[in-house]
Structure 1
Amino acid sequence: MHVSKLSKYLSFTANRDWFYRYSFGNAGLRSIKTDLGEGTVMHCWVPKTHNASRPNILLVHGFGANAMWQYGEHLRHFTSRFNVYVPDLIFFGESYTTRKERTESFQAQSVMKLMETHGVRRMSLIGISYGGFVGYSMAAQFPDKMEKLVLCCAGVCLEEKDLEEGFFNVSDLDEALSILLPQTPEKLRDLMKFSFVKPMGKWVPSFFLSDFIDVMCTDYVQEKKELLVGILKDRKISNIPKIKQSVLIIWGEEDKIFPLELGYRLKRHVGENAKIVVIKNAGHAVNLEKSKDFIKHLKSFLFDSQSPNSPSLFPLFDSLWSS
């Protein structure tokens, strides 16, 4: 069967997405889109019933398919203790804007406006990679509304000169964009090599990778490039505001997208309110690659250290995207 016909009639990615939607609904969440005005619409998974006696937690994804793919495996650990909110950032999933802003500051303002629309006035936050940039900006802009933060492999303290000085494993910004926003199976394999210590990409058939790209990687490509450029442009540590919340920094020791030194920079920048945990034999996708360790540290920081449950039943699907 031709690849395009296979994608049309038997999409592994679409089926996996359906499974996540079912599991999120089964976990007590509902899918809702909110018009924030001025051309901005954001999608979010919110509690079907808000429990006023529980704290609120916001799970913010990084670059990737949508919020479900990065938190589907971990959701069950939070829904019994928190009111859980899982938004799609702008230009991911079902969120978008007609405005021209491309900064994490604007993303942060939009997420906070979304939370206020749902009546959430104080919250803790877990941010993975780009989601950590957004979470850090929320903590800086809205200090009275943000409680604890977990920042996972979030290169908040990178500088524009880092790319020029060869700090990253890519030659220039164009190469970075082609890997982080893959449009061919070869580039998706490259992304998996950068994201995992033991990537499975070389064993995955090209038609499977093409299906994933067709379903998950073709919307808002130019806008996502602009988001990445916006992160890097004129960035200096001296211009990054300090935050005062309690922060847990989690990093994969072998992260090839945001090297571990960025985790230590972030720890030094935040100061005594920050703790860093380095997970061995893990790369950028530490939340998926070392799921049990990831959850163990989250629990000890956010509530307690119960024994984590078994890993995902779908490691092949989960491995496809996490940055």
Structure 2
Amino acid sequence: MFPLKLPKRISFTASVDWFYRHYFANAGLRSVLTNLGDGTTIHCWVPKSPKSYKPTLLLLHGFGANAMWQYGEHLRHFTTRFNVYVPDLLFFGHSCSSRLERTESFQAESIIRLMKSHGVGKMSVVGISYGGFVAYNVAVQCPEMVERVALCCAGVCLEEKDMEEGLFRVSDLDEAASILLPQTPEKLKELMRYSFFKPAHGLPSFFLADFIHVMCTDYVEEKRDLIRAILTERKLSNLPKISQPTLVIWGQEDQIFPVELGYRLKSHVGKGAELVVIKNAGHAVNLEKPKEFAKHLKSFLCDSHSTPPSPPTWKDHFHFTSTKCINS
């Protein structure tokens, strides 16, 4: 459990992170580190008091700050309906591993072990960008555990040849890594131009440098390896299909994973997939169009639980006890 202390140094980024910690705690979640016993430790926000009558929802983040920053705007939509779990993927936030694997398959394996350690048997999974790669692998590895999958701007169906054939705005993996893992204010500005349809302008360099210092300096080499592992020898023909109902959400102006990959993903999954393309939004559609993003997620996730769950009443207990006595 991480204490909710104010940051010691004057930092806007650290202050926002502190605010998110308070927000997640007030939403009924607690911060937990789970040691998986193989050199792998995962930090996760978990329900303080999981309710057996609620379904489970797992939220997986992409590259960027940490899980709180990507789901802070959306958490309130789901905590009343679901037992919500929000982990930091390996080498983000407080999650790390001494193992050498860097694939999304290993990330998924670790997440499955995490959820089982918390007693979760069934769940729906949401993955944003890189988190979508992991979510897809969770559904592949443990289909009996995953009920529904929502993938946001996740280029799961990309191929290694796409880089050579010019599908992406960057020319190679090193350039992609330098943008996705910004170490200077100029690179962070470039990432924002790629990520947002309407990026913020006029942000002072000291603000950007502060964000990089707090959020972008840990596990840089490990994250570069994660990026390389995504694309290396990747072929669509080798990608297993998932059978769960799947929602694919994409920003129409995505410059990191072009919307063509959204159509490709829908086609690959087949009749069980629905594609929603949000206009005037880029790769960070969850941040740029939060209301539309949440609306589509709620519609998809709550359809399978159309009646809002409610706790058992004394009548339910009386009925159960009476039936048990009659049948015994």
Q: What TM-score, normalized to structure 2?
A: 0.90
8 A contact 2:196–2:282 mirrored in 1? yes
CA distance in 1, matches of 2:280, 2:288: 9
Deviations 1:170-216 (A, max 9, x none): 1221111100000000000000000001000x310000000000000
8 A contact 2:168–2:257 mirrored in 1? yes
Deviation at 1:8, TM superposition (A): 7.4
- 1:140 corresponds to: 140
Deviations 1:143-176 (A, max 9, x none): 0000111000000000001111111001221111
Larger radius of gyration: 2
Deviation at 1:9, TM superposition (A): 3.2
CA distance in 1, matches of 2:178, 2:221: 11
- 1:185 corresponds to: 185
CA RMSD of the aligned region, Å?
1.4
**Secondary structure at 2:36's aligned position in 1?**
strand
Q: Structure 2: which 5+ residue stretches go unaligned?
A: 1-6, 307-328
8 A contact 2:173–2:227 mirrored in 1? no
Q: What TM-score, normalized to structure 1?
A: 0.91
CA distance in 2, matches of 1:125, 1:171: 32
- 2:87 corresponds to: 87
Amino acid at match of 1:288: L
CA distance in 2, matches of 1:196, 1:94: 27
- 1:113 corresponds to: 113
**Secondary structure at 1:203's aligned position in 2?**
coil
Amino acid at match of 1:278: V
**Secondary structure at 1:9's aligned position in 2?**
coil
CA distance in 1, matches of 2:130, 2:189: 20
CA distance in 2, matches of 1:48, 1:56: 13
Displacement over 3 Å in runs of 4+: none
- 2:202 corresponds to: 203
Sequence identity percentage? 69
Deviations 1:277-315 (A, max 9, x none): 0000000000111111111111111116x9xxxxxxxxx
Work out the number of aligned pairs and report it.
299
CA distance in 2, matches of 1:30, 1:296: 26
- 1:259 corresponds to: 258
- 2:236 corresponds to: 237
CA distance in 1, matches of 2:22, 2:9: 20
Q: Structure 1: which 5+ residue stretches go unaligned?
A: 1-6, 307-323
Amino acid at match of 1:218: T
Deviations 1:245-293 (A, max 9, x none): 0000000000000000000000010000000000000000001111111
CA distance in 2, matches of 1:302, 1:248: 9
Deviation at 1:64, TM superposition (A): 1.1
- 1:320 corresponds to: none
CA distance in 2, matches of 1:20, 1:10: 17
**Secondary structure at 1:52's aligned position in 2?**
coil
Deviations 1:224-262 (A, max 9, x none): 000000000000000000110000000000000000000
